[in-house]
């Protein structure tokens, strides 16, 4: 209820999490199909949405994408695999021995696409690029958070230009891009040290440390990984981002209702006690007033049920680490 800052993961939370292959560039005598086939085979060992986009793109072109025996995810950079006796990498330029000209990647990033270098034995042989689409309801959800006085920070491992492109579409207050998984945890700590009450929203395994550290962890239940759902305090059980401001609003209404009901109960008891001591309240009047106050408290509490009767309202699951924390 006291949350004033929301840190949101981009892929799968603000975006649909189903990117599509948009570009394949090939260098040094390699064909586009060869570059794409290598990238797709390497990505068969990854569960990241970007990997799925590359594999789907290769299959759509009729390329064979057999599974590989050995692959090693490189946290925050991409993946390294052994294919047909060659070391194949897909990800950032940090995976390559020689740093290539960044111009093609920067150009693709300017278009809002996520570009990845494809390397063979440390040499860049091409680039694959994918683009994700923003959720149709993301802008409305962020606007609803702003109306509640909540600051929205987007945290992503994507390139800065891609992240700012998405943020500009949605009205995000602050962008933190090109992050390693542990950086999200550091951002949550930094905001908390600044006196902020932080909610972290994510759906992937990489988000679990930040979800655990945040004052409130929120997992996108429909698309979220089991680890993220287990770690979070609240799981939004359908893939609809507007449920986040709804949950925040429900929490604030609940706290406000509790305070009102406590005030009614205390005032009623104080008035009755004073009346009894003054001799002006009989037992029958006292019982009548007390029971009336109980009915009033119940009626006010039942007002919280009204939004949940509407079909467009969410189903929430509270999975708190320390009891119910809303």
Displacement of CA 201 from its chain's centroid (Å): 4
Residue 175 C-alpha from the chain's centroid = 14
pTM for the full predicted model: 0.64
Tens of pLDDT, residue by residue over 202-221, are 876 677 888 888 888 888 76
Residue 321 has a pLDDT of 46
DSSP β-ladder status, 78-83 and 70-74 = antiparallel
d(CA 154, CA 160): 11
pLDDT in tens, 232-249: 778 777 677 787 888 888
pLDDT at 229 over 80: no
Relative to beta strand 198-202, strand 5-9 is parallel
Residues 125-165 have pLDDT tens digits of 999 999 888 888 889 999 999 998 999 999 988 888 888 88
Structure token digits, residue 55: 């594999």
Q: What SS3 state is found at 56?
A: helix
Active site residues: 9
Query: Looking at residue 98, what is its pLDDT?
Result: 85
The CATH number given to 20-131 is 3.40.1110.10
Give Cβ neighbours of residue 134 (< 8 Å, ≥ 6 apart): 14, 15, 16, 166, 169, 170
Percent of the chain with pLDDT over 70: 90
Task: Give the architecture-level CATH label for domain 5-14+134-244.
Answer: 3-Layer(aba) Sandwich (3.40)
Each residue's pLDDT tens digit, 265-319: 999 999 998 988 888 888 888 889 889 999 999 999 988 887 543 434 444 444 4
Structure tokens at 256: 């406000």
Q: What is the DSSP string of 249-309?
A: HHHHHHHHHHHHHHHHHHHHHHHHHHHHHHT---HHHHHHHHHHHHHHHHHHHHGGGTGGG
pLDDT at 324 (0 to 100)? 38
Percent over 90 (pLDDT), the chain = 39
- Give dist(CA 326, CA 319) in Å, integer: 10
What is the chain's mean pLDDT, rounded? Answer: 84
Per-domain residue ranges for the chain? 5-14+134-244, 20-131, 250-315
242 Cβ contact list (under 8 Å, min separation 6)? 137, 140, 141, 144, 314
Q: Model confidence at 115, in pLDDT bands (50, 70, 90)?
A: very high
């Amino acid at each position: 209820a006291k949350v004033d800052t929301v840190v949101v993961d981009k892929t799968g939370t603000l975006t649909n999490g189903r990117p599509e292959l948009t570009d394949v560039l090939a260098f040094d005598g390699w064909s586009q199909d060869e570059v794409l086939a290598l990238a797709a085979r390497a990505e068969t060992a990854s569960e990241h949405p970007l990997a799925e986009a590359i594999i789907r793109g290769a299959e759509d072109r009729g390329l064979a994408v057999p599974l590989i025996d050995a692959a090693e995810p490189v946290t925050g950079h991409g993946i390294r695999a052994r294919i047909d006796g060659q070391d194949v990498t897909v990800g950032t330029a940090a995976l390559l021995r020689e740093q290539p000209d960044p111009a093609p990647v920067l150009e693709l990033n300017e278009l809002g696409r996520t570009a990845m270098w494809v390397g063979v034995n440390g040499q860049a042989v091409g680039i694959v690029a994918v683009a994700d689409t923003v959720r149709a309801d993301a802008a409305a959800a962020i606007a609803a958070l702003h109306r509640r006085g909540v600051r929205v920070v987007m945290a992503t491992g994507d390139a800065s230009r891609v992240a700012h492109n998405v943020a500009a579409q949605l009205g995000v207050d602050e962008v933190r891009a090109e992050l390693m998984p542990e950086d999200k945890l550091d951002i949550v700590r930094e905001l908390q040290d600044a006196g902020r009450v932080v909610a972290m929203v994510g759906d992937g395994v990489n988000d679990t440390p930040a979800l655990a550290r945040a004052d409130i962890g929120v997992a996108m239940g429909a698309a979220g990984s089991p680890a993220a759902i287990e770690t979070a305090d609240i799981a939004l059980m359908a893939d609809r981002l507007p449920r986040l401001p709804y949950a925040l609003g429900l929490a604030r209404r609940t706290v406000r209702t509790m305070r009102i009901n406590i005030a009614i109960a205390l005032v009623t008891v104080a008035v009755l006690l004073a009346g009894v001591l003054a001799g002006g309240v009989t037992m029958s009047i006292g019982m009548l007033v007390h029971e009336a106050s109980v009915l009033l408290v119940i009626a006010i509490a039942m007002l919280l049920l009204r939004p949940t009767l509407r079909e467009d309202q969410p189903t929430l699951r509270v999975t708190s680490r320390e009891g119910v924390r809303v």
